[in-house]
């Protein structure tokens, strides 16, 4: 029980467990772990409320139907799982400005954080869909299947992420 209440677990234990989860996901669901396609589906679900014909005729939404699927539920599950984990460890707390050692107007000022999260989120969403995945889909699931394009994508995520973070903070 004590173990379940610890604030953090070793990253090696967590990484190992995520690796095992990827086996189970392939075995049980025949799916690789990933998340970013779900945001594209969500955008289509919202957009089609305004212009259904346009959305249904777009190539992207014909490939990724604007509907709830396995991965979309996985993203909902992540929210729930993280909520349970943070409640058990006592780490749950409502906050808008993230606690950080790398203080900047981008994370310690409400308007600055609205800007960084909104603009950063847009680039993350756009970039993830352009590259076809995110640090879960490319960075874990693609790399572990030895997909060359996923290894290149994962390296690109970190190259520009590191460069921009070093410039900003």
Partner 1 sequence: MTAEKKSRLIKGLITGIIFGFLLQRGGATRYNVIIGQLMLQDFTVVKIIVTAIITGMIGIYFLLDRGLVELSPKNHSLKQVIPGGLIFGVGFALLGYCPGTIAGAAGQGSLDALIPGLIGITLGSGLYARFHENFGDLLARGSFEKPTLPERWNINHWKIIFPLAGILLALLLLLEFRGL
Instruction: Say which residues have a Cβ less than 8 Å from residue 61's Cβ, sequence separation at least 6.
Output: 44, 48, 55
Token pair, residue 48, equals 């089609």
Question: Nearest distance from residue 72's CB to partner 1, in Å?
Answer: 7
Task: Tell me which residue has tokens 């889909």.
Answer: 137
Question: Nearest distance from residue 2's CB to partner 1, in Å?
Answer: 14
Three-class DSSP category at 46: helix
Q: Is 133 exposed, middle or buried (0-12, 13-18, 19+ CB in 10 A)?
A: buried
Q: Which of 91, 89, 92 is nearest to 4 (CA)?
A: 89
Question: Nearest distance from residue 52's CB to partner 1, in Å?
Answer: 14
Question: Nearest distance from residue 53's CB to partner 1, in Å?
Answer: 14
Q: What is the CA radius of gyration of the chain?
A: 18
């Amino acid at each position: 029980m004590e173990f379940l209440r610890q604030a953090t677990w070793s990253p090696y234990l967590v990484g190992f467990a995520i690796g095992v989860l990827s086996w189970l996901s392939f075995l049980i669901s025949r799916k690789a772990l990933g998340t970013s396609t779900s945001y594209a589906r969500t955008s289509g679900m919202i957009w089609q409320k305004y212009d259904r014909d346009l959305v249904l005729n777009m190539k992207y939404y014909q490939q990724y139907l604007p509907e709830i699927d396995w991965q979309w539920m996985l993203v909902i599950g992540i929210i729930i799982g993280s909520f349970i984990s943070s409640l058990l460890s006592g780490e749950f707390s409502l906050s808008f400005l993230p606690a950080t050692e790398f203080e900047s107007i981008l994370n310690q000022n409400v308007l600055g954080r609205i800007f960084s999260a909104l603009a950063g989120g847009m680039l993350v969403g756009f970039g993830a869909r352009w590259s076809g995945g995110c640090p879960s889909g490319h960075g874990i699931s693609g790399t572990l299947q030895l997909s060359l394009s996923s290894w290149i994508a994962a390296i690109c995520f970190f190259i520009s992420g590191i460069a921009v973070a070093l410039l900003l903070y």
